[in-house]
Amino acid sequence: MSFQIEIDNHHYSNIYYPGDTITGVLHLQGPLNDPTISITASLIGKSSTFITLARSVFSEDTKLFEETSTLFEGPCYLESGAETAFGFSFQFPEKTDKINRSGYVDWTQDGHVLPPSVDSAGSGEGPVFVRGSCAGKISYELHARLKKGKRFSCNVRRKIELTVRRPDEIAASRDDLAAIEIPLRRPKPRSGDQRRPLFIWLDDLIGFNGLPSGMSLRLHTPSVLKLDTAVHMGLELIHSDKSSNPLLSQVRILGVEHKIVCKTWARAYEYQDSHTETRTFGYKKMGRTLHLDETIDLTEDLDVVLDGNVYTPHFESYNITRRYSTKTIVKVDFGGRKHKITFELPMLNVLPSEKQCYIALEKEKSVYIESSKQSCILFDCCVLG
């Protein structure tokens, strides 16, 4: 006998979203002569972590959700070559199930938005490594199971891994920019520095150095970033305090350093671990003049691109979470004095690369760029009996 799973309109490049429906058929072909069989299909989402401490390895699997459908129970008699089929249909939930965990550490957490599939750092070949001692993944699987006999249970299970994305992962564009504004302070002159304007020099003497200049630097930086895609950034000098005249009409940009911070947390039972990795892009000797009400483009200077073979999209789950943030340090010469100005973005949404084979999300189904010519894919496995 043989056992086959057929998924409707499925290709290896398919991507599913929360709320999408996956349908298919299980094919059972004879010969089969058994008074009791059971055929079930399941859609399962889970997160897994592995932590190595000293000489011990701790692993934990947490189910995000599980939907199981019993397709057939009872006697089954099929002659050689005869075939029967059982249809199944599952809908991906919008949220995970509530979890209640008891053991070394008791904890309860409400359901959260269904996280995307996370395998390796973008390549799909292994887990996400937090350190050499800690790893984890988020996976979605379709299982088909056949049981035979009362005493002897011959379990035949086929596991198919599915790729799940969030609907917001197709909405990123160049317009997803955050504007971070920091006021420029009046430069603090050295004692006896006669090159400074007299009123600033007097401010320093009487303790009022560092007063606002009426000007601000505004950084335009993405709040959403796609892997393997260039980041568009800009720096602007503005007159922020209209109640006062600007102190100067220009500043000198000496250098810019942009840091993307990736922090990952993992937990396996009572053991927890975290790791922070920083990717730095810099232009240390820029030497460009920025005039009032002017914006300079930093895209080519910094060339900020996150490699999809090294990094994954951001994600959150019960026992493994990855978040991104950014820190941009701008060195300026303001009126003859050098300053370091730091812009921080606490949350950066990192999305999959454009290499992912999807182009749009409709209300009822996703539209895919398909490389395969098949309309379905069959998975075969033999049953010993």
Regions of the chain with pLDDT less than 70: 10-13, 101-108, 119-133, 149-155, 167-175, 186-213, 243, 354-385
In a domain, 17, yes or no: yes
Q: How far is the C-alpha of 332 from the C-alpha of 218, rounded, in Å?
A: 13
In a domain, 299, yes or no: yes
Q: How far is the C-alpha of 273 from the C-alpha of 130, rounded, in Å?
A: 8
CB-based contact 84:292 (threshold 8 Å): no
Q: Do 120 and 13 fall within a single domain?
A: yes
- Strand spans (E) along 54-154: 56-78, 83-91, 99-101, 107-109, 128-131, 134-148
Q: Do 193 and 340 fall within a single domain?
A: yes
Q: How far is the C-alpha of 313 from the C-alpha of 321, rounded, in Å?
A: 11
The two three-digit tokens of residue 180, written as one number: 């971070």
For residue 383, the model assigns a pLDDT of 33
For residue 329, the model assigns a pLDDT of 95
CB-based contact 237:243 (threshold 8 Å): no
Within the chain, residue ranges assigned H as helices are 198-205, 299-302
**Total domains in the fold of the chain:** 2
Residue 355 sits at φ, ψ, to 5 deg, of: -65, -20
In a domain, 300, yes or no: yes
| pLDDT tens for each residue of 241-252 | 776 777 778 889
Q: Do 121 and 216 fall within a single domain?
A: no
Residue 190 sits at φ, ψ, to 5 deg, of: -75, 150
Q: Do 196 and 317 fall within a single domain?
A: yes
Structure letter (DSSP) for residue 118? B
In a domain, 170, yes or no: no
Q: Judge residue 176's burial from the number of C-beta atoms within 10 Å of its C-beta, 0-12 exposed, 13-18 middle, 19 or more buried.
A: middle
Q: Do 130 and 244 fall within a single domain?
A: no
Q: Do 157 and 224 fall within a single domain?
A: no
Q: Do 112 and 44 fall within a single domain?
A: yes
For residue 35, the model assigns a pLDDT of 81
Q: Do 225 and 309 fall within a single domain?
A: yes
CB-based contact 249:215 (threshold 8 Å): no
For residue 206, the model assigns a pLDDT of 46
Q: How far is the C-alpha of 333 from the C-alpha of 254, rounded, in Å?
A: 7
Q: Which residue, chain included where needed, has tokens 């490594």? A: 129
| pLDDT tens for each residue of 250-298 | 889 999 999 999 998 888 877 888 888 899 998 888 889 999 889 999 9
In a domain, 171, yes or no: no
The CATH number assigned to the domain holding 32 equals 2.60.40.640
Kindly list the distances between the CA atom of residue 122 and the CA atoms of 104, 187, 311, 354, in Å, as whole numbers in the listed order. 33, 46, 6, 12
In a domain, 172, yes or no: no
Sign of CA dihedral 350, 354, 357, 363: positive
Q: Which domain holds residue 283?
A: 177-351
**Residue from 326, 325, 261, 332 nearest 296 by CA:** 332
Residue 349 sits at φ, ψ, to 5 deg, of: -85, 115
For 205-242, letters b (16+ CB in 10 Å) and e give: eeeebeeebbbbbbbbbbebbbbebebbbebbbbbbee
**Residue from 217, 211, 212, 210 nearest 238 by CA:** 217
Q: Do 129 and 263 fall within a single domain?
A: no
Q: Do 188 and 96 fall within a single domain?
A: no
CB-based contact 369:359 (threshold 8 Å): yes
Q: Do 157 and 61 fall within a single domain?
A: yes
Structure letter (DSSP) for residue 229? S
In a domain, 160, yes or no: yes
In a domain, 151, yes or no: yes
Q: Do 231 and 275 fall within a single domain?
A: yes
The CATH number assigned to the domain holding 347 equals 2.60.40
For residue 278, the model assigns a pLDDT of 92
